[in-house]
Structure 1
């Protein structure tokens, strides 16, 4: 599985429990294209992974500059959402290329 070294470009609180994250390639290159229904698997510090669905309000470009995801913080969960909610702009994160199980 190809890994993408990424950086958190922007974090926007949508509600008290949901934040939107804009994730870009750390080297500034274009990211792999995706289609509606795709998700990205993010690596967590404990070696586990979590998948989050990609979102877009605009047509998806051939070579996206960033990905957008929304994460609901689940304090009683396994820790993925808590980790994501601790990320600030500039934080480095690793993820896989988009996968679409629901085209």
Structure 2
């Protein structure tokens, strides 16, 4: 499959998601003796793709706000043996 180099991100992502849905259907058939129809798989793939795109829009907007408001820089911290660093400090990526 040369789709990643010949198509855009949307098409490649949709194809990858559809492949994943088909693979899960195959596993359900083998392990649980439960198969879905091609129409069901297509609908599931379409819904998952729409959900993923919506989540990326929300997450992308949130990340842009975070990047604009904070310049995050890693600082090396020495653990002094107390639990205060583990309990009170938060890690930001």
Give the TM-score normalised by structure 2: 0.24
Whose strand fraction is larger, Structure 1's or Structure 2's? 1
Larger Rg: 2
Whose helix fraction is larger, Structure 1's or Structure 2's? 2
